[in-house]
């Protein structure tokens, strides 16, 4: 029934699996037939504190029982408190703008970079350098910022000008000219194959850009909110970018995006806005999510989970070197390089049949993004099912 309705009334932009999930408990989902699935995807790094989290549900219920939305023409207490919380957790002096998604956050980051380039130099600076295999969103501008040629189809042309792509950080230096306003990177490329950048290279680039007064934008839409083990991957890499973007796991499933910037005075009244961004619902949910994740980190439970999950994944890799060529990732953003694309598709399908949800990244990477609150029992069961799936691959 759901498949028929979906195909008749929903624009068909996704290659869907028509399982009908009805309930979730932490990292376990249940379909309409009460079959259970271990979720190693968390809605593509979104459901950071698990499905059906009672603390988040209670926070949302209490908020919407009073006020859901009033618009940004008035002060919004949980928005202000969330901005304060983000700044404190980041250990940086930041201002925060709230949007509804990662793509919107990246759009805002690009606007900040463009205004910076317009107002701080004698000549106009507007160009932004990104990396090949990067992914920054699906809006017309963030598609162009994405360094994957397959995303730049003629269907949506012409695209905004001012973006260029480099294969590695080393190539970025030669690409900089007197019209370059910013360099935009993911510290761990998500859609590009769960590929962490080299820490020393990133630190060297950050220092160079600071000296040249060129902005460093770090897209942490997927890596932020403790996904890589610290609040931000920027904390792991020990850098202080000029602009950081967040979304996904920040709201635990409620749509929210955020632009964090040390340049707190660039945007002024009327420069940017969002009807829904930072409303009572999304910011109250995000506050509860960050409280839970901070407690999980401070107790040592998150670090313990990361080590446990990584050890289980390493064992899978060692057991199946005929299928996998490399382990990749950071924190609970993990991946296994698969020998070819057809095998990867087969693994994803067999895993689903066994009752464990996994993802694809790039052309050849099996991606695993479990909830950060996943239990050892769920990890054990998930990898048991994954092992069963892999045993079926010829």
The reply to whether 222 and 333 lie within a common domain is no
What local confidence, expressed as pLDDT, does residue 1 receive? Answer: 83
5-51 confidence digits (pLDDT tens): 999 999 999 989 999 999 999 999 999 999 999 999 999 999 999 99
In a domain, 242, yes or no: yes
Total domain count for the chain?
2
Q: Read off the pLDDT band of 177 (50, 70, 90).
A: very high
The reply to whether 294 and 306 lie within a common domain is no
Q: Read off the pLDDT band of 184 (50, 70, 90).
A: very high
In a domain, 390, yes or no: no
In a domain, 70, yes or no: yes
In a domain, 121, yes or no: yes
What local confidence, expressed as pLDDT, does residue 108 receive? Answer: 98
Cβ neighbours of 371 (radius 10 Å): 28
Domain of 323: which CATH number? 3.90.1150.10
Q: Read off the pLDDT band of 394 (50, 70, 90).
A: confident
Domain of 163: which CATH number? 3.40.640.10
In a domain, 28, yes or no: yes
The reply to whether 194 and 95 lie within a common domain is yes
The reply to whether 150 and 283 lie within a common domain is yes
Q: Read off the pLDDT band of 239 (50, 70, 90).
A: very high
Long-range contacts of 378-383 (CB under 8 A, 24+ apart): 378/26, 378/27, 378/28, 378/38, 379/305, 379/308, 379/309, 379/312, 380/312, 381/38, 382/27, 382/38, 382/40, 382/356, 383/312, 383/313, 383/315, 383/316
When the pLDDT of each residue in the chain is averaged and rounded to a whole number, the result is: 97
What local confidence, expressed as pLDDT, does residue 191 receive? Answer: 87
The reply to whether 64 and 196 lie within a common domain is yes
What local confidence, expressed as pLDDT, does residue 37 receive? Answer: 98
The reply to whether 161 and 16 lie within a common domain is no
356-386 confidence digits (pLDDT tens): 999 999 899 999 999 999 999 999 999 999 9
| E strands present in the chain | 21-25, 28-31, 36-39, 95-99, 127-131, 163-166, 180-185, 188-189, 195-196, 215-219, 243-246, 257-261, 324-330, 333-338, 356-357, 359-361, 365-368
What local confidence, expressed as pLDDT, does residue 13 receive? Answer: 94
The reply to whether 12 and 95 lie within a common domain is no
What local confidence, expressed as pLDDT, does residue 185 receive? Answer: 98
310-368 confidence digits (pLDDT tens): 999 999 999 999 999 999 999 999 999 999 999 999 999 999 999 999 999 989 999 99
The reply to whether 240 and 319 lie within a common domain is no
Among the ranges given (120-124, 197-201, 212-216, 314-318), the one the predictor scored with the smallest mean pLDDT: 120-124
In a domain, 370, yes or no: no
In a domain, 80, yes or no: yes
Cα radius of gyration rounded to whole Å, the chain: 21
The reply to whether 246 and 280 lie within a common domain is yes
The reply to whether 272 and 358 lie within a common domain is no
The reply to whether 173 and 47 lie within a common domain is no
Domain that holds residue 22: 2-53+300-341+350-363
The reply to whether 12 and 67 lie within a common domain is no
In a domain, 372, yes or no: no
């Amino acid at each position: 029934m759901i498949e028929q309705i979906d195909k008749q009334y929903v624009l068909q932009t996704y290659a869907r699996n028509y399982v009908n999930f009805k309930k979730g408990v932490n990292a376990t989902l249940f379909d309409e037939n009460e079959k259970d699935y271990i979720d190693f995807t968390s809605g593509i790094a979104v459901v950071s504190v698990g499905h059906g989290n009672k603390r988040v549900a209670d926070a949302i219920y209490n908020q919407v029982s009073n006020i859901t939305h009033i618009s940004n023409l008035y002060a919004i207490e949980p928005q202000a408190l969330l901005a304060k919380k983000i700044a404190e957790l980041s250990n940086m002096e930041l201002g925060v703008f709230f949007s509804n998604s990662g793509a919107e956050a990246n759009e805002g980051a690009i606007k900040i970079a463009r205004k910076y380039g317009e107002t701080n130099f004698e000549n106009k600076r507007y160009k932004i350098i990104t990396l090949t295999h990067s992914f920054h969103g699906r809006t017309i501008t963030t598609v162009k910022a994405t360094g994957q040629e397959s995303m730049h189809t003629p269907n949506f042309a012409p695209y905004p000008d001012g973006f260029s792509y480099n294969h590695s950080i080393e190539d970025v230096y030669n690409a900089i000219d007197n019209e370059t306003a910013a360099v935009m990177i993911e510290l761990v490329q998500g859609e590009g194959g769960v590929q962490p950048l080299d820490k020393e290279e990133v630190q060297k680039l950050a220092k160079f850009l600071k000296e040249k007064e060129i902005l460093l934008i770090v897209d942490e839409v997927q890596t932020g909110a403790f996904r890589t083990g610290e609040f931000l991957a920027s904390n792991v890499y020990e850098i202080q970018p000029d602009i950081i973007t967040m979304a996904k796991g920040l709201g635990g499933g409620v749509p929210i995006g955020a632009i964090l910037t040390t340049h707190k005075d660039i945007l002024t009244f009327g420069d940017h806005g969002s009807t829904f961004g930072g409303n009572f619902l999304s910011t109250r949910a995000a506050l509860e999510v960050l409280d839970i994740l901070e407690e999980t980190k401070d107790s040592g439970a998150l670090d313990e989970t990361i080590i446990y999950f990584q050890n289980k994944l390493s064992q899978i890799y060692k057991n199946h070197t005929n299928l996998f060529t490399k382990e990749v990732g950071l924190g609970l953003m993990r991946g296994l390089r698969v020998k070819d694309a057809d095998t990867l598709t087969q693994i994803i399908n067999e895993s689903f049949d066994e009752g464990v949800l996994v993802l694809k990244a790039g052309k050849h990477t099996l991606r695993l993004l479990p909830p950060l609150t996943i239990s050892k029992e769920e990890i054990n069961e998930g990898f048991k099912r994954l092992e069963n799936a892999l045993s079926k691959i010829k």
